[in-house]
Structure 1
Amino acid sequence: MPDKELCCFAIIPDVENYAMLQETPLELVLGQLEPMDLHGKPIADKWQSIKVSWLTVPGERPLLTPDIAAFNATAFAAKTTVCEQLGLHQQESCELLPISVDGEAWSIIHVLTELDAVDEQQSERKIRRGGQFGRGFSKLVLKLNAVSDTPLFRVKGAGLRIFTSSAADSFYQAVQTADLKGLIFKPVATA
């Protein structure tokens, strides 16, 4: 029986307050030959480090540099030393893909684990005009017993979002303990 105090979170990059990463123009040109696929399939064996920079918007003040940053719409990245501090190099739920951020060693945190954890009885899917199910949920409820032992995961049918729980060895607990900045942990209902 899962711990009643255990909860789940959707992990959202705090792009209002912290800078996000983008591929350099050269990497974008080179990447057109083979698009980057960060959708949960292992790619570390064929990965080659890429150069990445902070996204800047002309005319706007630069945002703060986070400890953990948004990379593309589907992943996060952190200094390699931060990844080691969080124990991510030992996790089976993700793989670390090396990148260079303005000459510094960082890693993309590529989440590999996808769980069948949607509580279909309590979740409410978005409905399009015409009565067809749309993408996503107006109310998402996760099965607590399906997520309690996994530090980082995606949820089958819930898009590309990344989740964690509040378990003692979770990504959430590690980030809170280390007081790292750059992410928002949005509570998700569980049953």
Structure 2
Amino acid sequence: MAKFNKVYTVSVEPDEYLLLQETVFEQSVQLSEDDLLLFDGKEKGNDWRTLGVDWLMAPEDGALKKPDIAGLGSSVFCVSARTADLLSEGLKSACEFLPLNLNGEPWFALNILGAEEAIDEKLTQWNMRNGKVSRVRRFNRLVLDKQAIEHTGLFRVNRAGLFTFTTDAEGSLYDIVKQHHLTGLVFSEVDAV
């Protein structure tokens, strides 16, 4: 098991950097062929075909910059070929690098494989609404169990919703982003014991 001290949630910075979206043509093809491409934690391998994407831009987005790591939707991270080269060694066991076509430029979507069973049940405080866990804000306090985290580079946690996590382990997403000053992501520390 890799050594680490801290765990972080990872999210994109939509107020400073552009996001990606599937092209209109791509959306039409998927709908007409009933072949929606999903990032569901399952390996895609040879079943994946290059996905056409474009920058999501509105007139008011003119001041936004192009990041090294962009968001596609709310929970998929996409990287340029140069950034993929930097990340591939550290994240090879955690995710697949699935090809994208950004106006002729090769990019890759990170398909995070599997999910960890890492919620510390004793210390986590669930946000309950009418006897059920809130769908909007699941936790009053989320605490992860460090011993249960196997893929320290990049991972999801079962029952934690759309959150994506990383640690400060050597070769993790957090480590590589900080080392190479990559843009587009925000890291927020999470309680972990």
Q: Indicate the residue corresponding to 2:73 in structure 1.
A: 72
C-alpha deviation, 1:102, in angstroms: 1.8
C-alpha deviation, 1:149, in angstroms: 5.0
How far apart, in 2, do the equivalents of 1:13 and 1:31 lie?
25
C-alpha deviation, 1:40, in angstroms: 0.6
- On the 8 A contact 2:94/2:151 being kept in 1, the answer is no
- On the 8 A contact 1:93/1:112 being kept in 2, the answer is yes
C-alpha deviation, 1:146, in angstroms: 1.8
C-alpha deviation, 1:103, in angstroms: 1.4
Give the SS at the match of 1:17.
coil
C-alpha deviation, 1:167, in angstroms: 1.0
Partner deviation per Cα, 1:139-163 (whole Å, 9 max, x = no partner): 1110012226521100011012210
1:20 equivalent in alignment to 2:11: no
- On the 8 A contact 1:83/1:89 being kept in 2, the answer is no
- On the 8 A contact 1:10/1:163 being kept in 2, the answer is yes
Q: Which runs of 5 or more residues in structure 1 are unaligned? A: none
Q: Indicate the residue corresponding to 2:58 in structure 1.
A: 57
How far apart, in 1, do the equivalents of 2:2 and 2:91 lie?
24
Alignment of 1:132-171 (within 5 A): 132-135=132-135, 136-147=138-149, 150-171=152-173
Stretches of 4+ aligned residues off by more than 3 angstroms: none
Q: Which runs of 5 or more residues in structure 2 are unaligned? A: none
Identity between Structure 1 and Structure 2 (%): 31
C-alpha deviation, 1:54, in angstroms: 0.4
Give the SS at the match of 2:59.
coil
Corresponding residue pairs, total: 189
Aligned-CA RMSD value: 1.9
- On the 8 A contact 1:10/1:161 being kept in 2, the answer is yes
Q: Indicate the residue corresponding to 1:173 in structure 2.
A: 175
Are residues 57 and 152 of structure 1, via their aligned partners in 2, closer, same or farther at CA, if it must alter by over 3 Å? Answer: same
- On the 8 A contact 1:2/1:144 being kept in 2, the answer is no
Which residue identity lines up with residue 132 of structure 1 in the other structure? K
- On the 8 A contact 1:89/1:96 being kept in 2, the answer is no
Give the SS at the match of 1:174.
helix
Which residue identity lines up with residue 23 of structure 1 in the other structure? E
